[in-house]
Copies of this chain bind each other. A is one copy, B any other.
Amino acid sequence: MARETNRKLYWSPGTVALASHIALGEAEVAYEAIIVDTSQGQQHRPDFVALNRKARVPVFVDGHFVLTETPAILRYIALCSPEAGLWPSDLESDARCSEWLSWCASTLHVAYANVGRPGRYLESDEAKAELIRVSRSTCRSLWQQVEDRFAALQTDWVVGERYTVADPYIFTCWLWGRSRLLEFDMARDFPHWTAHARRMGSRPATLAALERESIASP
């Protein structure tokens, strides 16, 4: 990692920041990784809230410019390194890439977050337990939708023949499926998606990002 750079990624282990780490590696962008340990509640520290009032990671900083929201950060990374070709150039692939990023952020991630952070919207233990139970079932159904999309794909990558920034986001969801919160048997139940995850796992940028968090390869 370069020591002299104006680019910084604020991140926490076990979060969606992983997708941005992978994309930054693919784009060969030099950046400083600054940990904000959400398991310790560090996202609520005044200095971080002053940077990002949403109190969430990741945050990408490029000089004076502060950017939040994973779909926006992934697109920004792609546009910063056009030679890496991480954002599609034709209209329909562009739209499909946006669609995957948005679906991951607004649906898959939200369902998973309900399992891991039921206290975001609920207070009582009974209601939280119900949210976890139903959301696990919703995740199973959503993960099956992703599997079916992968089964119908004729290409190695989710948008088409070329790897895009949508790939690290859907890969992060694959890891969530394998995590202790969901404990899906990914290889058995979602084999096409798992084949994609293993293609991801063969890329140096993925391996470096996984190693940072001591996450096993797919």
Which A residues contact B (CB, under 8 angstroms)? 53-54, 65, 67-72, 75-76, 79-80, 91-92, 94-96, 98-99, 101-103, 105-107, 109-111, 114, 120-124, 126-127, 130-131, 134-135, 138, 145, 148
Instruction: Give the residue of B72, B107, B145 whose beta carbon is less than 8 angstroms from that of A98.
Output: B72
**Best-buried of A70, A105, A145 by chain B (most CB within 10 Å):** A105
- The 8 closest A-B CB pairs, nearest first, are A72-B98, A69-B102, A72-B99, A127-B127, A105-B106, A106-B106, A71-B102, A76-B95
- Chain B hits for A130, CB < 8 A: 122-124, 127
Interface of A, helix, strand, loop or mixed by DSSP: helix
B94 near A79: Cβ-Cβ < 8 Å: yes
- Docked complex Cα distance between A143 and B55 (Å): 15
- Docked complex Cα distance between A130 and B125 (Å): 11
A122 near B131: Cβ-Cβ < 8 Å: yes
Instruction: Give the residue of B69, B71, B99, B110 whose beta carbon is less than 8 angstroms from that of A67.
Output: B99
Instruction: Give the residue of B76, B79, B105, B131 whose beta carbon is less than 8 angstroms from that of A105.
Output: B105
- Chain B hits for A131, CB < 8 A: 121-122, 127, 131
B54 near A145: Cβ-Cβ < 8 Å: yes
In this complex, what residue of B is CB-closest to A124? B130
Given contacts A54-B145, A76-B95, whether A103 and B134 have CB atoms under 8 Å apart is no
